[in-house]
Structure 1
Amino acid sequence: MIQGKTVLAIVPARGGSKGIPRKNIREVAGKPLIAWTIEEAKKSRYIDRLILSSDDDEIIEVAKAWGCEVPFKRPIELAQDDTPGIAPVLHALEFLPRYDYVILLQPTSPLRQADDIDSCLEKCLAADAKACVSVTEVTENPYWMYTLEKDGAMRQLIQTNDFFYRRQDLPQVYKLNGAIYVANYEWLLQSKSFLSQDTLAYVIPWERSIDIDTEKDLQYLNYEYFPKNSKT
């Protein structure tokens, strides 16, 4: 609870994953990928209830073993490749009591910390915003990107009269890192999205923003961050 407001956190983890088979329970430094998110969420000072939304029996058992509540099993039709990310959240809200704030924590962001979760929520409340999501600064700035015409002519991706010759002069640009999504409960039900023109950004450093989407991402995480646990 924060400032008298109740907080629900949802960890979505479907069984199917084409990029990395059984991704959510693959081992990272000796424990399942999903366990990293569960552990940090349980350290939060504000989360009143932490639940898993999954269609997969094995993921459900793993989550329970790491202390995450599983109040229902997600319908298979909401666990497809083309299922919108908001769908499991809205489905969960149908089954649970009303909370003041909802937090979505994707297990593919294992390095986000409890302090990140709490700070993102604090920022949302301090500004009386409807939503706040985590972002990280991009390493490849789009102000240095171009499209090519058929004749090979270069066209700026972002049209501007300015030319930036030094990296230090580039405008700072950020991208969603998928780690934390916070929203007011009632607003989320109406908007059906964490993102709007009024959504605030909470910046997380790139070293805590790795998003596990491919086998290479998983290998990078293990070898760069946990070399002693990596198998050669």
Structure 2
Amino acid sequence: MNRERSTLTTNTCLAVIPARGGSKGLPGKNIRLLKGKPLIVYTIEAALESGCVTNVVVSTDDEMIADVARGAGAEVPFLRPAELATDEAKSIDVLKHAVQYFENRRQNYEHILLLQPTSPLRTAKDIQKAMGQFLQSGADSLQSITPAQTHPYLLRQRSNTGQLNPFFQIEDHIRRQELTELYELNGALYLMKRDLLMESGQIVGPSNQGYIMPVERSVDIDTLWDFRLAEWTLQEFDESGRE
């Protein structure tokens, strides 16, 4: 830690919820009503209820999203600059901008938590458990994962003539029970040390943990179909079933 940062107030964790106004896949999705509640509110409430974060901040370029976020209890101390509100803007730059904003005001955080508002089924307990795993492991970063729904062994390539070939050359006699258990990123949460982000310019470090979430809490909304799936899941699984 350098001399300048050592004089800053140290807090534990900054949760950043990125919520850009524009969305090609599902226009207005971040504040679209999901069972009567704006989508982004599910993530804000989970972060606040977790008790694991010092500040819950929404990074947005949209005044309507900002108003909804403030109403749900999140902080929106700035509107995201135009260069960070394009389709090409990267999550890492949005995170660094938010952290720099607070550090310029002499607030420092040991850990940074990225929470996508498109993962409304992630709960406060998920955040608590992920944080506990992260701190206990001493890792540089952590990503949420869920069991892969399709094993690479089952993938096929189809040629223009209709010829079907395995995408990966694996012996045909391998049984499903013998296949390695695999996981896929579900986008629900990313945890990282502050210095990994700000000094190394990385979200995922060399020592990276995976926090496992079940498929029913791993819906990542990008399309109307995803949105309908989230609605159905909320209808079928009550709060006690989504611990």
Q: Report the secondary structure of 2:77's partner residue.
A: coil
Q: Given the alignment, which residue of 206, 211, 232 partners 1:223?
A: 232
Q: Report the secondary structure of 1:6's partner residue.
A: strand
Amino acid at match of 2:219: I
Matched with 1:184 is 193
Matched with 1:200 is 209
Computed over aligned residues only, the root mean square deviation of the Cα atoms, in angstroms, reads 1.9
| Deviations 1:45-72, CA, capped at 9 Å, x for gaps | 2211111100000000000000101111
Matched with 2:149 is 139
CA distance in structure 1 between the partners assigned to 2:129 and 2:173 by the alignment: 36
Sequence identity percentage: 40
1:22-171 aligned within 5 A: 22-96=28-102, 97-148=107-158, 154-161=164-171, 163-166=173-176, 168-171=177-180
Task: Select between 175-184 and 145-154 the one with higher mean Cα deviation.
Answer: 145-154
Q: How many residues align?
A: 223
Amino acid at match of 1:33: L
Amino acid at match of 1:115: K
CA distance in structure 2 between the partners assigned to 1:38 and 1:122 by the alignment: 19
Q: Report the secondary structure of 1:77's partner residue.
A: helix
Matched with 1:230 is none
Give the Å deviation of 1:92.
0.6
Amino acid at match of 1:80: T
Give the Å deviation of 1:182.
0.2
Asked whether the 8 Å contact 2:142–2:209 carries over to 1, the reply is yes
CA distance in structure 2 between the partners assigned to 1:173 and 1:197 by the alignment: 19
CA distance in structure 1 between the partners assigned to 2:214 and 2:202 by the alignment: 24
TM-score, normalised on structure 1?
Answer: 0.89
Distance 1:49 1:172, change over 3 A: same
- The 4+ residue runs of structure 1 with deviation greater than 6 A are none
Q: Given the alignment, which residue of 18, 26, 29 partners 1:12?
A: 18
Q: Report the secondary structure of 1:112's partner residue.
A: coil
Consecutive unaligned residues of structure 2, counting only runs of 5 or more, are 1-9, 237-243
CA distance in structure 1 between the partners assigned to 2:232 and 2:129 by the alignment: 29
| Deviations 1:86-128, CA, capped at 9 Å, x for gaps | 1210111110122000000000000001111111111111111
Give the Å deviation of 1:146.
2.3
